[in-house]
């Protein structure tokens, strides 16, 4: 009889131990599940924070590339892009044109209507320029009232057509308080082996030659070794 009781007690003890072990296992698994869930939530939180930081960095980078007044790309971005596009065009033998333009008599406009109204004129000019460039072209404000448009895969002749559209867009109707204004432009087509700074300087020099001829003119820069004979004269496409 005692043996039977002992055996029964042993079985009960074994059963109780097994139940405790099972409970302990359930508790361990539950704890592990909670830990895994907490770890997953923590990782998801970190991922969200990283995504927010990445988006903020992207926004800051974009803002750093833009001119605050006009919304066009700024001078720093322009020169970075110019170096990249010149390198690409030289490497693959592609065409690349550059248009540099500014508002005629902008200092007089500022003196007449004030600097705040002058800023509105610059912003409106930029908006009209944005409306006539291709999606592949990059318009930038490079300083004061001077703007530049970089035109990948475009010849000097095609850049002249852009100048015609630009001149029409700006001068066809009054601009803010300034009334009717005009723009002058210089055009350069990238030459083999030409460096970015030399490319920009040729377009900028062409702009000054255009301004010497009067308002609303544009001049296409001659080659570095060729005579300067690309000025558009009265009665041609580059004249009013």
Among residues 104, 145, 204, 229, the one annotated as catalytic is 145
Structure tokens, 197: 């700074």
User: Is residue 137 annotated as a catalytic residue, yes or no?
Assistant: no
**Cα torsion 64, 69, 71, 75: sign:** negative
Cβ 191 vs Cβ 203: under 8 Å: no
Looking up tokens 């083999």 gives: 192
Q: What is the spatial distance between Cα 149 and Cα 57, in angstroms, rounded to a whole number?
A: 27
Q: How far is Cα of residue 41 from the mean position of the Cα atoms in its chain?
A: 36
Enclosing H/E stretch for 51? helix 2-65
| Nearest in space to 99 (alpha carbons), one of 32, 168, 166 | 166
SS3 at position 187: strand
Kind of pairing, strands 146-152 and 138-143? Answer: antiparallel
Spatial distance between the Cα atoms of 39 and 101, rounded to a whole number of angstroms: 58
Rounded distance between C-alpha atoms, residue 240 and residue 178, angstroms:
19
Q: Which sequence positions are flagged as catalytic?
A: 145
């Amino acid at each position: 009889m005692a043996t039977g009781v002992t055996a029964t007690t042993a079985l009960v003890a074994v059963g109780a131990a097994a139940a405790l072990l099972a409970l302990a296992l359930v508790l361990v698994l539950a704890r592990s599940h909670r830990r895994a869930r907490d770890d997953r939530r923590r990782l998801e939180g970190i991922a969200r924070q990283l995504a927010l930081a990445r988006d903020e960095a992207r926004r800051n980078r974009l803002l750093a590339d833009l001119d605050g007044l006009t919304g066009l790309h700024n001078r720093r971005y322009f020169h970075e892009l110019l170096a990249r596009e010149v390198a690409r065009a030289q490497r693959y033998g592609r065409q690349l044109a550059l248009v540099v333009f500014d508002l005629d008599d902008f200092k007089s406009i500022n003196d007449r209507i004030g600097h705040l109204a002058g800023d509105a004129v610059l912003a409106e000019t930029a908006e009209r320029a944005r409306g006539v460039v291709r999606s592949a072209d990059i318009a930038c404000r490079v300083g004061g009232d001077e703007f530049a448009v970089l035109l990948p895969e475009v010849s000097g002749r095609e850049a002249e057509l852009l100048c015609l559209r630009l001149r029409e867009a700006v001068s066809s109707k009054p601009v803010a308080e300034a009334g009717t204004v005009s723009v002058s432009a210089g055009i350069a087509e990238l030459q083999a082996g030409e460096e970015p700074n030399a490319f920009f300087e040729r377009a900028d020099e062409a702009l000054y030659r255009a301004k010497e001829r009067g308002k609303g003119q544009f001049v296409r820069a001659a080659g570095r070794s060729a005579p300067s004979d690309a000025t558009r004269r009265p009665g041609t496409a580059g004249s009013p």
